[in-house]
A and B are shown apart, each in its own frame.
Chain A
Amino acid sequence: MIAINKVSKHYGAFQVLTDCTTHVNKGEVVVVCGPSGSGKSTLIKCVNGLEPFQSGEITVNGVSVGDPKTDLPKLRSHVGMVFQNFELFPHMSIVENLTVAQIKVLGRDKPEADEKGIQLLDRVGLKVQALKYPGQLSGGQQQRVAIARALAMDPICMLFDEPTSALDPEMINEVLDVMTELAQEGMTMMCVTHEMGFAKRVASRVVFMDHGHIVEDDLKDAFFANPRSERAQQFLAKILHH
């Protein structure tokens, strides 16, 4: 589904990604982790072309992301993405947030988009909030809306960029529950996250990054039982013992 092949990226002299190679098969959940500044957020933004990269190739469902001829808006319309800071559109009501792209990008008519939107809000447990505005919801609720917004486009895969890092601790689980449910339904997912509990529960593989390199790319059990690199061991020790 997602194939990342020898991708490198630099800002001027600063190397952000070096020769990154990994993949996400259909139905797989791949968790990307690593210390801050390791390039994991940049990597996931390269997947739908939000960040350009200088060399290597990324294909999503066989379409090359870096190819200038690729219709990026079309590609992005079926790759869902969830952001650290939710990024709901503050001037639109919750239901409008879910329908605007269905109508303007996919060309659905309004009743159809509304129905789909309400159905997905119901699924994330927020149907009653449909007419409120993002600023009136808690962080956890906003992030669940953001997931519903991405799902409304009927994505073939989902990208999560640290979806719980901006949340207060008591709200993390409500978001992880929605993500877990999605994973169990067989959604193809690539998640940048520090939530190792989530990774243990649903990940197929874990990718560990450091200083722009992919240091480990392993099956979940192998990664947690016996990380090969010292840096991954240190990282796990820090993150699991607090």
Chain B
Amino acid sequence: MKIKCLSRNPDDFLRETKRDIHKVPRNYDPKLHPFEAPREYVRALNAAKLERVFAKPFLGSLDGHRDSVSVIRKHPTSLSLLLSGAYDGEVRVWNITKRNCVKSVQAHDGLVNGVCGHPNGEYIFSVGADKQIKQWNITVEGDIQDQPKSTILGRSVFQDIDHHGKDNFYATCGAGVNIWDEERTEPIRYFTWGVDSIHHVKFNPVETNILGAAASDRSILLYDMRGSTPLRKVILKLRSNAISWNPMEAFIFTVANEDYNCYTFDMRKLSIPLNVHRDHVAAVMDLDYSPTGKEFVTAGYDHCLRIFKLDQGHSREVYHTKRMHRVHTVCWSLDDKYIMSGSEEMNIRLWKARAWEKLGTLKSRESTALQYNDKLKNKFGNHPQVRRILKHRHVSKMIFHNTREIRKIREAAKKREQNRMENSKIGTVQYTSERESHVIGEKE
């Protein structure tokens, strides 16, 4: 009996050598693939689940400080070095790859208020509560001498220090903002605007002569290093704790505010923030932009870090551990892969910038698969099931309850406002948008 079977030409499906890729005959005619979308949906669901499975952001902690960490800063030229200052006046240099402390120096009496590095990476500066600015030599390995290269004694306490992006200038703040030339012991410029005590100052990394500062009179100030006067001042409802400039968009900066929010401003239009980022349930202490300028990370008084996208109002990620207390300071590594945070309980923690990302070299197939998964998550991110998985984060009890409470408060306020509008004469109660409501005024 002769039975005819389905048969194929082996030429069509056999590869010629072992190193060839497998021949996979495909017909891309959409008529033959009626279930494309559902199949991709399932893949997206799986991708979302896998993302959550692999989301393990915490890499390790650097312990050694004997008091709360007040400030951490990136080394400008080395990815593996990290500078930190603590409340006991100690400055430490860390090697992140080895996860050890390279050097520790008792730099100041009282707390270290600020640390910064010279852009060529050859020396660092520190300011403390003892009214001193100290300059330290630092080697490529991160070793610093016990004695500072130079010390400047100021008239008042310096609250913060930041270095110019290119030239040999640095700025300190305290009572006003001082611009220093490295070669001189007196400031080359001194900015004041009324009676103010400024606690944070930051150079614009792109337009290197512009500075931003946060003052304790709830204002944000802008300066031009070359001018004789400040440029402008914005007063918010509560004081801003820190300011950070976008390294890729010269006119964009974000401030971390006491009112649990972050505000992104365009330097050219300060009357209204571009975006209000809110998710924290306590004051935001510090923030730092990713070097790509697409995201920034914030340190919260509510024991957690959050990562915000520049154009989104809510955070995409929240990092916390059981043992981490109030986070004072945070920075995003220069290769856009890691985040470092310094917190009250004396630890510096190392995190991944993208919690599920696989570090190290990827095979091409692996990276293709990951990219495809990313695209799928993006494509189906609006579907409730996928969204639910992607958005789910575990948070501490405190944050969970506070979030609920704050939401209730906000809703109540909103309702109250609405009622007021409805029950008063038309035109007497104006509607103010969320963005407007936080700014008191822009001062020339």
Partners in one complex: no
> Residues of B at under 8 Å CB distance from A?
none
